[in-house]
Amino acid sequence: EDKVVQSPLSLVVHEGDTVTLNCSYEVTNFRSLLWYKQEKKAPTFLFMLTSSGIEKKSGRLSSILDKKELFSILNITATQTGDSAVYLCAVRETSGSRLTFGEGTQLTVNP
Amino acid sequence: DTGVSQDPRHKITKRGQNVTFRCDPISEHNRLYWYRQTLGQGPEFLTYFQNEAQLEKSRLLSDRFSAERPKGSFSTLEIQRTEQGDSAMYLCASSRDRVEQFFGPGTRLTVL
């Protein structure tokens, strides 16, 4: 059974700090890893990663995948209070369409 | 708004009642997914459709749950004889083939 483990589960930082969120996975036939941001509503898509070592970047957010070590990180630089949310990591197998999610990391950015 | 929409946004029901939720995907998306999310957990896959065909169901989907997508557009998820353990957020997502899934706002179900 596919498994996704995120760490830390909870993180509190001050505005301006840089944070790194971790996601490790076990999946039989890996196809892609996705990051979502969830405020008090539906998850919103951030990144989809399929290849090792290629960083994806969007503004202050960036993410990279290591398929050998089976993990991904999500970095947020110069955090803002609006970054406060749950960040979800999910994996998809080659054979299916379902996403298997981790528990999420609850990030709180204090002013 | 051309995103995924769900109706109702909130539903409170008594144990033993039947409930039905609706999801309207992004119009050009051929795949539609249902997930369930409880507090403090990530979404859990329930089922998915490619056009009108239901191609995969999780073992979480007991025989009290049924989903349809009759014309390959909107979908409904029905829960019969609701139990308190069914209380959760029910999320619908859609995608065009196997690319990223876009989620709707969810239906929060409370079973009293």
Q: pLDDT for B48-99, tens place per residue?
A: 999 999 998 998 888 999 999 998 899 999 999 999 999 999 999 999 877 7
List of long-range contacts for A75-80, beta carbons under 8 Å, 24+ apart: A75/A18, A75/A19, A75/A20, A75/A21, A76/A18, A76/A19, A76/A21, A76/A107, A77/A18, A78/A16, A78/A18, A79/A13, A79/A14, A79/A15, A79/A16, A79/A17, A79/A18, A79/A19, A79/A107, A79/A109, A80/A15, A80/A109
Nearest to B103 among A43, A96, A102 (CB): A43
Q: pLDDT for A42-89, tens place per residue?
A: 899 999 999 888 899 999 999 999 989 999 999 999 999 999 999 999
> Residue B20's pLDDT band (boundaries 50, 70, 90)?
very high
Chain B, 53-92: which have a CB under 8 Å from a chain A CB? 55-56, 58, 91
Residue A48: list chain B partners with CB under 8 A: 99-100
Nearest to A98 among B48, B104, B106 (CB): B48
Is it the case that residue A108 has pLDDT exceeding 70? yes
Q: To 5 degrees, how large is the angle CA A52–CA A58–CA A64?
A: 20
Contact A100 B45 (CB under 8 A): yes
